[in-house]
């Protein structure tokens, strides 16, 4: 078989696998941009078959921002183990070009000293999506990849309308250190044959497990005390509208 034929066959098989994933996760949806590789094509495995390393999640989000005019990549801090904390901002190109203006308009809504406030009906809604606050609830991190790709790659008229009327922030993993602890364990200990036995080594993480962050703190309990670096970085971004 000629080299060109082999390459075409590989591309065909890859495309079939990708289409199967898309029809499963996004049934009834229309066309997608070919300029943005779906997660399974980028990583080389169907989402759900393997736990994705956090550094690869960051790399994929950078790729979406580089190739899509609907997305902007933001680094807003680092964890205790020096993993980047990132956000992908997704909206229409028009909205992305005036993010600061939109932020200031939203702030006016909560200013008690202003009597002439903007009409919320004329403003895009702000949506914050945060995934995987518990490191060993890892399916959320995988879901963030699909969500980000769908929002940036969908060519449906419905998506154009959604993005024209919303600004969506996706933080793919709120607990990068805990996730990486869990993902490393599972990927190192899983077997070729899938096992549902709860006593299988793959499913019995050593203490403290991946739920908590570097200091074994449950970040879902840190919204008020803000005792952890990840939470303080995140709150600083919420308050200032940008990285520290």
CA pair distance 27, 18, nearest whole angstrom = 13
Answer yes or no: pTM beyond 0.85.
Answer: yes
CB-based burial label for 171 (10 Å; 0-12, 13-18, 19+)? buried
Would 34 be classed as within a structural domain?
A: yes
**Distances from the Cα of 206 to the Cα of 72, 79, 90, 220, angstroms:** 37, 22, 38, 21
In the block, which residue shows the tokens 């009906």?
Answer: 121
Q: Under a CB-based contact definition with an 8 Å cutoff, are residues 213 and 80 in contact?
A: yes
Would 9 be classed as within a structural domain?
A: no
- Look at residues 210, 238, 208, 243 and name the one whose alpha carbon lies nearest to residue 226: 238
Would 165 be classed as within a structural domain?
A: yes
Q: Which of 82-86, 117-121, 239-243 has the lowest mean pLDDT?
A: 239-243
* β partners of residue 60: none
State the pLDDT confidence band at 239, using cuts at 50, 70 and 90. confident
CATH (domain of 90): 3.40.630.10
Would 95 be classed as within a structural domain?
A: yes
Would 66 be classed as within a structural domain?
A: yes
Q: Which of 21-35, 116-130, 147-161 has the lowest mean pLDDT?
A: 21-35
Would 214 be classed as within a structural domain?
A: yes
Would 8 be classed as within a structural domain?
A: no
CA pair distance 88, 145, nearest whole angstrom = 11
Give per-residue pLDDT as tens, 191-213: 888 889 999 998 999 999 999 99
Q: For residue 190, is pLDDT > 80?
A: yes
**Total number of domains in the chain:** 1
**Structural domain boundaries enclosing 171:** 18-188+200-240
Q: Under a CB-based contact definition with an 8 Å cutoff, are residues 70 and 93 in contact?
A: yes
pLDDT at site 18 = 55
**Distances from the Cα of 117 to the Cα of 104, 109, 164, angstroms:** 11, 6, 21
Would 62 be classed as within a structural domain?
A: yes
- Terminal-residue alpha carbon distance, the chain: 56
Q: For residue 19, is pLDDT > 80?
A: no
């Amino acid at each position: 078989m000629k080299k060109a034929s082999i390459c075409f066959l590989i591309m065909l098989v890859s495309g079939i696998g990708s289409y199967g994933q898309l029809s499963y996760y996004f049934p009834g949806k229309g066309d997608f941009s070919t300029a943005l590789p779906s997660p399974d094509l980028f990583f080389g495995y169907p989402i759900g078959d393997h736990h994705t390393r956090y550094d690869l999640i960051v790399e994929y989000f950078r790729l979406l921002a580089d190739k899509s005019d609907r997305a902007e990549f933001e680094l807003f801090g680092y964890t205790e183990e020096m993993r980047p904390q990132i956000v992908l901002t997704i909206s229409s190109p028009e909205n992305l070009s005036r993010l600061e203006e939109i932020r200031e308009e939203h702030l006016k809504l909560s200013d008690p000293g202003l009597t002439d406030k903007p009409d919320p009906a004329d403003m895009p809604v702000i949506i914050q999506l945060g995934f995987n606050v518990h490191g060993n609830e890892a399916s959320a991190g995988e879901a963030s990849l699909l969500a980000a790709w769908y929002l940036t790659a969908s060519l449906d008229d419905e998506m154009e309308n959604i993005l024209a009327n919303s600004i969506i922030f996706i933080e793919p993993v709120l607990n990068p250190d805990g996730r990486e602890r869990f993902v490393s364990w599972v990927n190192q200990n899983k077997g070729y044959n899938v096992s549902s036995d709860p006593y299988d080594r793959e499913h019995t993480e050593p203490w403290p497990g991946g739920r908590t962050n570097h200091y074994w703190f449950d970040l879902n309990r840190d919204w008020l005390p803000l005792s952890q670096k990840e939470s303080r970085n995140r709150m600083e971004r919420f308050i200032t509208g940008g990285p520290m």
